Amino acid sequence: MGEIMHERAIVKYENGRLVNLRDTIATETALTVRVNNEEFATMVCTPSHMEELVTGFLASEGLIRLPEDIESLTVDTGKGYAYVTLKNKKISSADFVTKRVIGSCCGKSRQFYFHNDVQTAKTVTTKTTITPEQVISLMKKMQEGSSDFQKTGGLHNTALCTTEDILLSRSDIGRHNALDKIYGHCLANRITLKDKVIAFSGRISSEVLLKVSKIGAGILISKSAPTSLAIDLAEDLGITAVGFVRGGRFNVYSHPERIEG
């Protein structure tokens, strides 16, 4: 695992003067994933929890369902490569991953799915509910525990939670990468996800919403805004999307029946 942050000399303007000092910067690196000796994808990420990241990414792309589907996985952070051998030596073309298709299901947002999303996005049917006080408490705990963000100001944070507390958190320069790290950890440790909550620092985009669907959590809370397509997807996929969790208030954009009160 590489360094997720480092110091750089900078010039800061403050109180009417320029000052030389050192600042803590988030590390950004490229990781190319090779699957069965073929280049599959390159992602830009923070070099932490890399095996979790690759495992979660492969699961969200539909190449694996369980960690046991991986024969071997090694990450060379120095060269920026992850080498994966799957037990199933026949994988889909990387081009297939980004080809758009129109699904046969009736949800109006499904026409935006990529091919792999048709195969892996799941409708969530959890009966888990959460109170407004719990929503606000979880977001506060995630932000207070986000020391990497506080040091750099340049990382997204994601936390896997019960309705009462945070179980684990991950950070990355890419909000989708942070979700993949959570997913990879849960797969490796066989954590049940249907009754869990995802707390999130970034914007709820369609990509983020789809990843939460693939993870299988029914409640997503964020301090930021959702997009219109993300809300459509949340409605279709049975996910309660809560945004703008700030200052003791929030907005519920889909499936409000899971919010008690």
Distance CA 247, CA 140 (A): 9
Q: Residues 6 or more apart from 15 whose CB is under 8 A from it?
A: none
Rounded to the nearest 5 degrees, what angle is found at the Cα of 200, between the Cα atoms of 22 and 251?
A: 125
3-state secondary structure 10-67: EEEEECCEEEEEEEEEECCEEEEEEECCEEEEEEEECCCCHHHHHHHHHHHCCCCCCH
d(CA 258, CA 114): 28
Tokens of 84: 């994966």
Residue spans of alpha helices (H) in the chain? 50-60, 94-97, 115-120, 132-144, 147-152, 175-188, 206-215, 228-237
Here the tokens at position 189 are: 């440790």
Residue 161 annotated in active site? no
Angle between the N-to-C axes of helices 175-188 and 50-60, in degrees from 0 to 180, rounded to the nearest 10: 90
Candidate list 105, 106, 161, 186, residue with the active-site label = 106
Active-site residues, by number, are 106
